[in-house]
Amino acid sequence: MIRFDRPYLLLLFIFIILGCSIQHVQSQPTLPQAELESLVWLSKQFKLGWPITNITSVCYTIWGVTCQLYENDTVFHVTFIERVGDGVFQGTPDPIIAQKLEFPMLEQIFITCGVTVSGYSVENNSTLLSYMTGLPLLETIYISKCNNLHNPPITFPYGLPSLTTLQLDTVGLIHVPSSFFNTSSIITLNIIPNNELQTIDFAENSNVLYFRTTIPVLPNESRSIHIKQNHFLPLSLIALYSPNSGSVSINVEAQVTNLVVSCPDSTISYLNSTGAQSLTLNGLFDQQNVYFESNKFPNLNSLRIQTLEHSDRTTQLQLYITASKITNINLNGIHAKVMALPLLLETFSFATQNYIGDFLSPYDLLLGCTSLFVVTFDYMTQLVSLGPSVTIVNWSYMSNTLALPDTSNFFLPNVQYQSVKMASASTSVTGPVPQFLSFRDRGSFDVSKSTNVNGVVPDSYCNLYDLNIESTSITDVPTCFKCNYAGFTGIIKLPQAIKNTIPLNYFCPTRLFTSTYLFTVEPLDSTQQIELVGENLGYGHTNITVIHPMTNMGFTIPNVHKKPRSLMITFGNLKNYGGSGINSVTHTISWYLFYITSANIIPIGNTYSFELIGFFDVSQPNATIMGSFNCQITSFNTTYILCSVAPNPPLVLASLIDITLSVYTNNTVYTMNLPNLTNPIVIKNTEFTQSMDGTTYVVVGYDTILINQTLDPFTYEIQVDGYFCSAERLTPQFLGCLLPTILKDQQQYTVKVSKLNNAPWNSVSLPFYQIFKQAYPYVTSIPEYYTNDTIITIYGNFGTDHFDSSIITIQSVNWTYVNGNASFLTCQYNLDTPITPGVKSLVINTQGWIFKRDSMIVFKTPPNNNGSSTTTTTTSSTTTDSQECQCGLHGYCIVLNGIRQCQCTDGYSGDQCQNAPYPGGEMTINTTTPSASFNTSDGESFSFNLVSIQELGMDGQIIKEMTTFQWTVIQNISMDENNSQRQLRIVTYNLNSTNNNNNQNQNQNNVSIQVILQQSNYDRIVEFAGVNSSLVANDIKLAMNISSWIYESTLNSLRVVFQSDIGQGEDCNGNKINPTIASEFDSQSVEYLQIVKGNIIFNGRFVDRVLSDRRVSYSRNEIVSLTNSSISIGIHLPFANFESIIDPDFSLLVSHDSDATSNCNRSTSSNTWKIIVGVVVGGIAAIALIGAAAKYLHFKHKKNRQDQHLQAKLKRLND
């Protein structure tokens, strides 16, 4: 018991209870306010009548809205909306909220307009689709009865990356914009407009697979629709519907598997479809002659006409179907006469209750279809002649005016019918039972009460299960219909006159035509399947399968090797006709074995002995080798044969050796053949395919033994190095299996095929060698990110089926998969610790398949207020004393990080603004290879050259290298239209061919490489990869584009190597200069190259970004080689499917120090031979550009701080 002896204890208890209650209330999941406001707007706009009260109850109380829990079950998000307006007025919707619906997790939305409310004017819904943007998971939009939806925004459906289905049903569309088609996400597009629709703008090469629309046409109007070939990529379905009277013209040139045209009350004035494979038609025509010709339907292979009439509903059409590729025709309910059919017609279905002669002209039109093999007649009133190619006929009599034809003037092939039935009491049906008919097993024949049908039922009808010939004039039936097998469930009804001729104690006779069998092929196991042929054998029994009732049965001998080789088989129990007695139907079979189970060749000189192990139940055979050499038998019994032969010329044991055994017994020659004795399995080709859960699917093409012209009975096992898998036979020449391992990219594997099932001779194939190439995952580009970016996107190929299971690891930290498809992955960083700046390693694991890079992604420090990127807090102030920092006439002093330093102007650079842009010089262009030299007026010369293009493996090794090029060079000068003094010199190099010492480069015949050098005599601003840069007069730029490079592996990358001479490279104290400086974020990446000769500074800048398949991606620029006279720098490019673009540049500066001696008089820490420190971010051109230009460099530190920072970086490079 709790006692509250003091008041404050009672108050404390109450506070605890209330606190727990409040905590419980606060833990209930809620709906974000933005989503609640969007629901309120929808309810008001469409008068949905939703009882929206508060954010905690809306997901429980609104019918038609589905929510799901997220963020550890603390937040609701709307995922599904389906609602028809209830006509409940809830006030005018807020127009501000509707600028954009806020449903980040919405997947499907179904809205029906058209509900009116008294006293409320419906808002114009023409902008409804503009509200639907920024919904990343929305897959389906269904809008119905929105009459004011006239002109959708041209921006729709941008901002809906997951949208696959769009249906606008009974809406007031006036114009359908091309944006509905040119998006890559919509697969199913259904547009059912009212009669206001005027135009549809098709895009080019749309990815829509299913397109349905209504052609709005009013009485006495004419409308047309023309779908061109370039409007769509191949579609699965186009459905066009015109419900009203009027005239329509339809022309579909786009490739489509199924085209449906339904115009039940519209007249089709023109119909053409050069791209359709299948056409389903329902409509009216105003011409009497309707043609389906090859020029209008060149690709049509299937034609289904549901209804076809003349527009006046009385005139009979004449139908000419001659399109050469049509193989299937289905005509149902047509008011037309078929005048011509295609020669290659294979299946033909026809339904009519009228005289067949009214619909086929000539009457025997089907005889000319020599490829026809399946015919279906429904409601037929007359038999028609069919050609010998027909094998299956489905046929039903449904008229009392049928005349059975005489076989003397009627031709019908030996086809099989499922059922033949005449209408009850068909007294007008006359003639004998057709002797030319045969039926499918368990078929039926019913002419009961057709009293004028006569003759006898032929033996070919014995496989029927149902025979009803009661009340006919038929005089006899075969004995099979007089048998009374116990357990038979069919229907046998005979005329009374025939019944009177059968005694009640009658047992029908049974007979087995063949009782002795010879087996010349070894079975897979000890069992052997046989077919028993005879008469009146019943309808199946224990261990007996029915092949054809009464005549053909299947049976399996359980052990063919067991002696004696004979067996009694029971076919069933037979009762007498009266049903009182019963007899067991049995027959005895026997068999002989005559085949080889194993063989061995013993060569002795030019003589070969053959040991043959097997079963030889017949007398001693004759043995022949290679079809012509008699093998003399020296030993023989029922399981062993030894023979020898000395063929001339001698046998080649590596060839395929053929052994034939033949024996003459019982006036019959039995032959057994054993081919391909030495190498029965030959692998022709092998293909590896990546599969899920760390497995690889292997397909092997091979040649092997064919026995009796049928598929060999053996099963196979595929071996890849040390891994085995049981093979499935894909085709007679291809095997496939799932290998339980992941193969390594670019590794050669040894493939073998083993034959199982007791095949002891040469059961393993010769080895086949195949290199595996990984198809995914791989990365083509990763944009530049900042350390506060916790959600990033990676582009490449991640497989079509299991990309969502990819594990993304960046610098040993797993990032969470958020979204993606086969071409991109979006992932999120979830740790509390901040992301550090710098270059990171990347590993992507997709179902066990690995992509790995040590320097693939870079995170930079976010820009501060003045746009620069820094890792420390920076404050600056300006002083008016321009001499305090000794900045000269081209700069002023600023305070940065508490240190005074110069801020240069007028294009000057340097710690004291002593470096001026070089006033000019002559650029010498090499017309054989992309390189240039810059000659100054002081006699100095600087150059840069393209050395090679290298393909690198994942570990950085050179896989192949292109070192020698042949170019076509074009030079021109471009002038400014407004100022002819402003000139841009352009030199373009296009690759003609390549040559290389590395033979692996032979597959680069289709590679395209273009290099462009530019030099202008005026200042300009250029852009590359989203960054603008300023160039001054006389800058030199070099552009480089590499496309269609054939990679050895998707895991490889490219490196473009440029070289520049560096001269002596010593300062005035004799110290060697390291001519590079590393990137602020990647110590292994070169950001600047600086070469000093006299007072001229040649400055090269290497940006850390490239364009890969038109996307920005990080690039590392590394020192490939450094000698006393030259330096080579390689620019890295990720794998690209299409093209790669790079953008470094070079600058030329002049030092305005008084003289070189004064430089040496200063401390070494301020020596101007040192490399200028700076960080430049940006690019230069729309295609890859490398240049030489006068640059304006901004300094961030004083001279001593600069040199210390530089030396530290250079030391890391040298270490």
Residues 1180-1201 have pLDDT tens digits of: 222 222 222 222 222 223 333 3
* Dist CA 582 CA 576 (whole Å): 6
Q: For position 898, what pLDDT does the model report?
A: 63
Is the pLDDT at 880 greater than 60? The verdict is no
User: Residue 71, SS3?
Assistant: coil
- The conformation of residue 744, written as its DSSP 8-state character, comes to P
The sign of the CA dihedral 23, 28, 33, 34 is positive
Count, in order, helices (H) and strands (E) of the chain. Answer: 8, 84
Give the pLDDT band (50/70/90) at residue 594: confident
pLDDT of residue 438: 67
Query: Considering only CA atoms, which of 1154, 1141, 1212, 1150 is closest in space to residue 1182?
Result: 1141
pTM, two decimals, is: 0.43
More confident residue, 420 or 866: 420
Task: Say whether pLDDT at 916 is over 90.
Answer: no
Q: Average of pLDDT values for 697-717?
A: 61
- Rg of the chain over CA atoms, in angstroms? 44
- The answer, yes or no, to whether residue 479 has pLDDT greater than 90, is yes
- What sections of 308-350 are H helices per DSSP? none
Other C-beta atoms lying within 10 Å of the C-beta of residue 598: 14
- Give dist(CA 551, CA 18) in Å, integer: 90
From 909, 947, 891, select the one nearest 1097 (Cα to Cα).
909
Q: Which residue matches tokens 């030894």? A: 642
User: Which pLDDT band, with edges at 50, 70 and 90, does 395 fall under?
Assistant: low
The confidence score (pLDDT) of residue 651 equals 63
Note the pLDDT of residue 377. 73
pLDDT at 25: 44
Question: Is residue 826 scored above 90 in pLDDT?
Answer: yes
Residue 282 has pLDDT above 50, yes or no: yes
Q: Rounded to whole angstroms, how far apart are CA atoms 39 and 359? A: 61
Percentage of the chain beyond pLDDT 90 is 22
DSSP 372-406: --EEEEEEESS-----TT--EEEEEE--TT-BPPP
Three-class SS state of 1185: coil
Residues in the chain: 1215
Examine the pLDDT at 510 and tell me if it is beyond 70.
Answer: yes
Res 715: pLDDT: 75
Question: If you ran DSSP here, which 8-state letter would residue 287 be given?
Answer: S
pLDDT tops 90 at residue 494: yes
Judge residue 1173's burial from the number of C-beta atoms within 10 Å of its C-beta, 0-12 exposed, 13-18 middle, 19 or more buried: buried
pLDDT for the residue numbered 878: 41
Say whether 813 sits in a helix, a strand or coil: strand
Rounded to an integer, what distance in angstroms lies between the CA atom of residue 393 and that of residue 378? 11
Sequence-distant (≥ 6) Cβ neighbours of residue 834 within 8 angstroms: 787
DSSP labels, 1022-1066:
EEETTEEEEE-TT-EEEEEEEES---S-TT-EEEEEEEEE--S-B
Cα separation, 284 vs 265, in Å, equals 7
Torsion-angle region of residue 708: left (phi > 0), alpha (psi -120 to 50) or beta?
Answer: left
How do residues 560-574 score in pLDDT, each as one tens digit? Answer: 999 899 999 999 999
Would you tell me how many other CB atoms lie within 10 Å of the CB of residue 89? 13
76 phi/psi in degrees, rounded to 5:
-90, 145
524 or 275: whose pLDDT is higher? 275
Mean pLDDT score, 498-515: 93
Please confirm whether the linkage preceding 917 is cis (ω < 30° from 0). no
Which residues pair with residue 846 across a beta bridge?
A: 849
Contact call for residues 527 and 558 (beta carbons, < 8 A): yes
DSSP bridge pairs for 487: none
Cβ atoms of 626 and 605 within 8 Å: the answer is no
Q: Do the strands 1036-1043 and 1008-1016 form a parallel or antiparallel pair, or are they unpaired?
A: antiparallel
Could you give phi then psi for residue 12, rounded to 5 degrees? -60, -40
- The larger pLDDT score, comparing residue 244 to residue 420, is at 244
Instruction: Please give the residue that has the higher pLDDT: either 1182 or 423.
Output: 423
Inform me whether the pLDDT recorded for 841 exceeds 70: yes
Amino acid at position 799, single letter: G
Mean pLDDT of 203-221: 84
Q: How far apart are CA 568 and CA 906, in angstroms?
A: 113
In the numeric block, the tokens 């990529």 are attached to: 233
- CA 403/CA 378 separation, integer angstroms: 16
Per residue in 640-683, pLDDT tens? 989 898 887 766 544 456 778 888 765 555 565 554 444 446 78
Pair of tokens at residue 286:
């105003």
- What CA–CA distance (Å, rounded) separates 221 from 203? 27
List pLDDT tens digits, range 1129-1181: 899 999 998 899 987 766 666 665 534 333 444 333 333 323 322 222 222 22
What's the mean pLDDT when you consider all of the chain?
77
Query: Stretch 146-155: mean pLDDT, rounded?
Result: 79
Q: What residues form DSSP beta bridges with 534?
A: 512
Which amino acid, residue 697? Y
Q: Are 271 and 287 in contact (CB under 8 A)?
A: no
Return the pLDDT at 399. 44
- pLDDT at residue 983 greater than cutoff 60: yes
Phi, psi torsion values for 391, nearest 5 degrees? -120, -25
Angle at 670 between CA 669 and CA 672, to 5 degrees: 140
Task: Tell me the pLDDT tens digit for each residue of 536-585.
Answer: 999 999 999 999 999 999 999 999 999 899 999 999 999 999 888 889 99
Please give the pLDDT value at position 302: 94
pLDDT the model gives residue 525: 83
- Give the pLDDT score at 1187: 29
Between residues 508 and 93, which one has the greater pLDDT? 508
Rounded to whole angstroms, how far apart are CA atoms 334 and 353?
11
517 band by pLDDT with thresholds 50, 70 and 90: very high
Residue 113 has pLDDT above 90, yes or no: no
pLDDT class of 604 with cuts at 50, 70, 90: confident
pLDDT value of residue 27:
60
Which of 232, 266, 272 minimizes the C-alpha distance to 252?
Answer: 272
pLDDT above 70 coverage of the chain, percent: 74
List the Cα angle 978/984/987 in 5-degree steps.
Answer: 150
Q: Phi-psi category of 45—alpha, beta or left, where left has phi over 0 and alpha has psi -120 to 50?
A: alpha
| Dihedral sign computed on CA atoms, order 665, 666, 667, 672 | negative
Q: What's the one-letter identity of residue 1176?
A: V
Q: Tell me whether strands 566-575 and 582-604 are parallel, antiparallel or unpaired.
A: antiparallel
451 or 276, which is more confident: 276
Look at residues 203, 136, 214, 131 and name the one whose alpha carbon lies nearest to residue 172.
214
Contact 128, 149 (CB under 8 A): yes
* The pLDDT of residue 1204: 41
The residue whose two tokens read 């090679």 is 948
- 328: pLDDT strictly greater than 90: yes
Q: What is the mean pLDDT of residues 200-226?
A: 85
- Nearest of 506, 1093, 1134, 1042 to residue 855 by alpha carbon: 1134
pLDDT in the model for residue 1152: 55
- Helix (H) or strand (E) run with residue 825 in it: strand 824-828
Dihedral sign, Cα of residue 427, residue 430, residue 432, residue 434: negative
DSSP assigned state of 734: E
Q: Cite the DSSP H helix spans in 490-584.
A: 496-499
Q: What is the pLDDT of residues 997-1007, one digit of tens each?
A: 443 444 566 78
Contact yes or no for 362/343 (Cβ under 8 A): no
Beta strand 915-917 with 438-446 is unpaired
Which pLDDT tens digit goes with each residue over 50-86?
877 666 677 877 788 899 998 888 889 999 998 766 6
Report whether pLDDT(346) > 80: yes
Is the peptide bond between 919 and the residue preceding it cis, with omega within 30 degrees of 0?
no
CB 206 within 8 A of CB 232: yes
pLDDT digits (tens, 9 = 90+) for 780-821: 999 889 999 999 999 999 888 778 888 999 999 999 999 999
Cβ(1160)–Cβ(1018) under 8 Å?
no
Sign of the Cα pseudo-torsion (275, 277, 280, 283, in order): positive
Cα(1075)–Cα(1079) distance, integer angstroms: 14
Q: Which residue has the tokens 């070894």?
A: 522
Q: What is the pLDDT of residue 287?
A: 87
Per-residue model confidence (pLDDT) at position 982: 86
Q: Which two tokens stand for residue 107?
A: 């997947």
Quick one: pLDDT at residue 703? 65
Per-residue model confidence as pLDDT tens digits over 1030-1069: 666 777 777 889 998 988 888 899 999 988 887 655 555 5
pLDDT of residue 298: 93
pLDDT for 10 equals: 44
pLDDT reported for residue 928: 78
The pLDDT value recorded for residue 349 is 86
- Tokens representing 550? 């009464």
User: Is residue 45 over pLDDT 80?
Assistant: no
